[in-house]
Amino acid sequence: MTEPTRYSEAPVVLPDRTGYSKPTPVAGCAGCVELANVRDRARAGGDMTTVSGCNVLMRKHPEGHSW
């Protein structure tokens, strides 16, 4: 007898290594897209300082993405 797959536990969401939630790039904003690209590259290279910086700038989307 096969037991049906059970969904008693919610999938575990891995916490971000920076310790806080990641802002989402705003659709249609070139600045957000660029920040997301830079952030991905920085994370791949272990540069968490740049990752944090990109997150901060992405949060500032309504005000602009000035470095």
Binding site for Zn ion (CB under 5 A): 26, 29, 31-32, 61
Q: Crossing angle, helix 30-44 and helix 48-59, to 10 degrees?
A: 160
Q: How far apart (Å, rounded) are the C-alpha atoms in residues 42 and 17?
A: 13
> Which residue, 46 or 59, has its beta carbon nearer to Zn ion?
59
Q: How far apart (Å, rounded) are the C-alpha atoms in residues 2 and 38?
A: 47
> Which residue, 43 or 60, has its beta carbon nearer to Zn ion?
60
What's the closest the beta carbon of residue 6 comes to Zn ion, in angstroms? 41
What's the closest the beta carbon of residue 41 comes to Zn ion, in angstroms? 18
